[in-house]
Structure 1
Amino acid sequence: MGLENLIRDGGFMTTQLQRVVNWSRRSSVWPMPFATACCGIELMATASSRYDLARFGAEVMRFSPRQADLLIVAGRVSIKMMPVLQRIYEQMTEPKWVVSMGACASTGGLFDAYATVQGVDQFLPVDVYVPGCPPRPETLIEGIMAIQRVIDADGIRMDQGKREPLNIVVEPNYDVKDQPVELSVGNT
């Protein structure tokens, strides 16, 4: 059934310690949600039973930055909220990852105003950009899986003691279909 059936009595298995560490890191990514708008609803849907983020080892949402290693910025961020977000990022454990979820977190979205940050990548090192307004749960799962693939391959790049952002852009993995029913306004 599992690995224990492949190893006979008294048998052993060899591997590299780095592969075991990467496997355990990949299988236990603990996200900290920073959801401020409609992207937060899609983030909640991703953790629900229909999309089941638990299959990928990221179901343990942590609301303490000291217990999280994946920051999901979902929604718009105001100028007054950015120092709080930066402090949360600084308190997270290393290695830490950042996902910018949705158009508002990535580029400011349609909120082109002085009080809205026009992309959190100006203040935080963003690893994965998840496009959409709001993005579907499948796209967020693909973004988390992209980080897991990098962790598994041990592709963590360090520059003078600091890790460089990955700058991965997730492509939507679904086709938008037309509405099945035509709408008519004013015609009876």
Structure 2
Amino acid sequence: MAKLFGNLNLVLGVGIALAILIMLAFAPYSPVNLNSVFRWLHVFFGILWIGLLYYLNFVQVPLMPSIPAEQKGAVTGHIAPKVLFYFRYAALFTVITGLVVAWASGYLVQALSFAGVGAVALIGVGMWMALVMAFNVWFIIWPAQKKILGIVEASAEEKAAAAPRALIASRLNTLLSIPMIYCMVSANLG
């Protein structure tokens, strides 16, 4: 057991295999198709993305000022770069899988153009919030964090200017995540 649970890649592989077995076992009751597989992936990546967003905003960022200076390097040099890797790729894959679900369900254009009504309009609002959030991740937060963490060269002034930009974009994402989640779960499009 220790070998299984001590290896994250093995745990993920077993989890995926178990999910596939469940999909196949229940296929007569819940068809396995492009839409159902991408919905599952969309939920997985969405949980990873928003979970890391909340970790950063509720735990890491608020605690950084109280961490002793000699220990900050462990966070900024090791933890934060790994968190930000999973954070930005979870955002990317959440958006891609969500767009595939909307396309496979036949409402992509209606939702993005607000041409739909009711649930399609609601999901469109959620989709646009997610797109703004993903833009923030890739084009505001990540470039700023690369400077802050020393991944790219930056002067002290550039690092100081990058910190509030990253914080505002991250807090905007936290703000948008709350109504975005409501839109996604309440639209309930099959």
Give the TM-score category using the shorter length: under 0.3
TM-score by length of 1: 0.26
